Structure 1
Amino acid sequence: MTPDAEFGYELLVCRYAELTWHPSDGSRPAIVSRQLGTAARRWDTVVIEVDPEAFAARRGFGDRTIDSDLLHVVRHAPADWAWYRDALPHPGYPWRYVRQAVHRAAGRSLIEKRRRDNRIQLRRKRPYPDWVERIVAIENKPDLDRSAADALADQLDHDVETALADEVWLATETTGERVEPALLREMPVEAGILATDFSAGVDDDAADVAWHPSDLSPGPTDRAGVGDEDAADRGGSGGRSTSRDAETVTRRLEIAERAYGKGWRSYADTMRPDCRHFELRREGRAVVPHCAAKAKVPTARECSGSCPSFSPEPPQWRTKGWPIEGGPGKGLRRVLDRRRTRERNRAGDGEHGRDRAGDAGSE
């Protein structure tokens, strides 16, 4: 059944998107994450639609997020050896931070570096691919009452105006009424509405499109998703992006990189799977956290060391098979990590949606 907390609902929406994206236009390779955005706006669910071949090339850079400082180095690293200050564009902040990023990038084998004439030189190991096709933002409100709708309308208006995402959606629980209440709220017409029914758990037919979204991307001349005013500023530039365009491209790529490294199952990083009451339970084709002590899906705030019901795994659990296997908590983390890796691999192979081999009945 649908969890009471919005957090639990959010996890089910993430799994649905992973299974079925795109809900109205057919299967598209994508990765899914949650609670990402910018300093001004954080989205509940983020879907990154990817180019499978380019995404497979991105996998060659490892499974960890490439943060903003590293992106500056990796994206602009030259094919041949060059002094890093000659090779990289000015970052807008002191070069000493770039030098630190060069060392970190080399430490992660993202680039190669060497010292010649007392200068640090670098070159790329492989080109950083253009792997992000589109960014889709989903806001999750299972119970869309009037006050929640008013607040959400302002947030979605902001998303539509900034066009940082190519598409925005509202996901809400279906009521079974002839006209879904979400359609009667004053939402921006550009935002899609996804009516979900997770009463039997998550499956690829657990939602219907109640309203189709508009495409917010400016067009083929700028697939990176900058606003219309930026496209107008590009006149006479021969197709090259302005500095503001480049900033938008970078922001979108930073979001995509965090989605790639984090995924949506990373809730175990902010919860306590080492508690003897922490479990994973199946909701159809989804697996979500469950607290046996409280008989509910806990939030990250509830599932902490300060919880009155928190009971650490006994030492004999935590050291079982030490130092390789560990206790049940480490086992749950491995389960979630394997599922995140599996979905990354499938996106790189171009497999997505209901036709993916070997996925029937799995999480």
Structure 2
Amino acid sequence: MTYPGDAEFGFELVTCRWAEDAWPPDRDTDAVPVVARQLGTQRRRWDTVVVEAAPDALDARAAFGERPLDSDLLHVVRNAPAEWAWYRDALPDPGYPWRYVRAAVHRADARGVVETRHRGNRIEIRRVAPYPDWVRRIVAIENKPDLDASAARALADQLDHDVRTALADEVWVATATTDATVEPALLEDLPVEAGVLALDFSGAPAATVAWHPATLDPTAETSMAADQKADKRLEIAERAYGSGWRSYVETMRSDCRWFELRDRAGAFVPWCAAKSCHQTAAACSGSCPDFQPEPPGWRTRGWPIDGGPGKGIERLLADRRRRRR
């Protein structure tokens, strides 16, 4: 077995960790990969997302904090003027009531991503820094370690949707490598525009490009208008910047006494000591029959009291996420 556990979840985590160090696999670039998981649109969610960022512009993005900027905040931050101006004069008409923009201005001020002041009954705004054009490309990856015929049929429709909408610049399928002369994924009926990546995590992580993807055109008019796609791409990139891929711990019970992390191919992958397996995010919940809260004594080691091993795991993953930015 070349990936941890029997589910796609473990394969997805080690794929994300590999992408942080080795993306892209088929060309040279100075772009910095910002890797996240389970992002997309209301209709389509990708397993792994790689945002290829311009290095200097990515550094400039840090001026707006670690948390992502949603669409309302982006409308304010990207259009905030260099000099003080009434927000309704400075910002483009949003197409919805201005009271919602005013609420976004207050949120932006609270986050420290714009400055505000009152002149009479008017709120004036000024930018703290120009919002950088930090996103070069967005790559979508579907993780299918065991790509059989039935999984390929279901995946083909999703990939075809990705190709037709061209929201991402490239679409890939990542699968576990086999000993076959021809990777089985190449024998399935997948769109020819989708690349195929064979990954081997049995030792040092290794990747083989079995099929090169076509470069899609996000500026083309498809089922989504080009300007709509540009806004959606930036929203996805912001969410990737804010969440990364290590945020999986936020939906798992790290406060369970059996919750541990194991190093697999350079990635910290959850391990359930009660079941002696790499558990999935869905299985690791308060309804699990083996769930046991950490003993109170575990949470009082050291001063100040800042939680037990579970909180330590969360801090470790959050620190790794900050360092990778």
**Which TM-score band (shorter chain)?**
over 0.9
State the secondary structure of the residue aligned to 1:60: helix
| Alignment size in residue pairs | 322
Q: Report the Cα distance in structure 1 between the residues aligned to 2:180 and 2:264, rounded to whole angstroms.
A: 24
Aligned: 1:208 with 2:205: no
Letter in 2 for 1:62: G
Q: Residues 105-144 of structure 1: matches in 2 within 5 Å?
A: 105-144=108-147
Q: Report the Cα distance in structure 2 between the residues aligned to 1:264 and 1:88, rounded to whole angstroms.
A: 33
Displacement after TM superposition at 1:244 (Å): 3.6
CA RMSD in angstroms comes to: 1.5
Aligned: 1:319 with 2:319: no
Letter in 1 for 2:116: K
Q: Report the Cα distance in structure 1 between the residues aligned to 2:291 and 2:221, rounded to whole angstroms.
A: 52
Q: Residues 208-357 of structure 1: matches in 2 within 5 Å?
A: 208-217=208-217, 225-228=218-221, 244-323=225-304, 325-344=306-325
Matching residue of 1:354: none
Displacement after TM superposition at 1:26 (Å): 2.9
Aligned: 1:78 with 2:81: yes
Structure 1 residues 229 and 144: CA distance shift in structure 2, 3 A: closer
Letter in 2 for 1:130: D
Displacement after TM superposition at 1:318 (Å): 2.0
Letter in 2 for 1:326: G
TM-score, scaled to structure 2: 0.96
Q: Report the Cα distance in structure 2 between the residues aligned to 1:81 and 1:208, rounded to whole angstroms.
A: 53
Q: Report the Cα distance in structure 2 between the residues aligned to 1:256 and 1:123, rounded to whole angstroms.
A: 24
Q: Report the Cα distance in structure 1 between the residues aligned to 2:322 and 2:268, rounded to whole angstroms.
A: 15
Matching residue of 1:348: none
Matching residue of 1:236: none
Match of 2:181 among 171, 178, 181: 178
TM-score, scaled to structure 1: 0.86
Is the Cα–Cα contact under 8 Å of residues 299 and 305 in structure 2 kept in the other structure? no
**What is the aligned-residue identity percentage?**
65
Aligned: 1:187 with 2:190: yes
Q: Report the Cα distance in structure 1 between the residues aligned to 2:105 and 2:122, rounded to whole angstroms.
A: 12
Q: Report the Cα distance in structure 2 between the residues aligned to 1:229 and 1:35, rounded to whole angstroms.
A: 23
Matching residue of 1:26: 28
Higher relative contact order (CA 8 A, sep 6+): 1
Residue ranges of structure 2 left out of the alignment (5+ in a row): none
Displacement after TM superposition at 1:320 (Å): 2.9
Residue ranges of structure 1 left out of the alignment (5+ in a row): 218-224, 231-242, 345-363
Deviation above 4 Å: which 4+ runs of structure 1? none
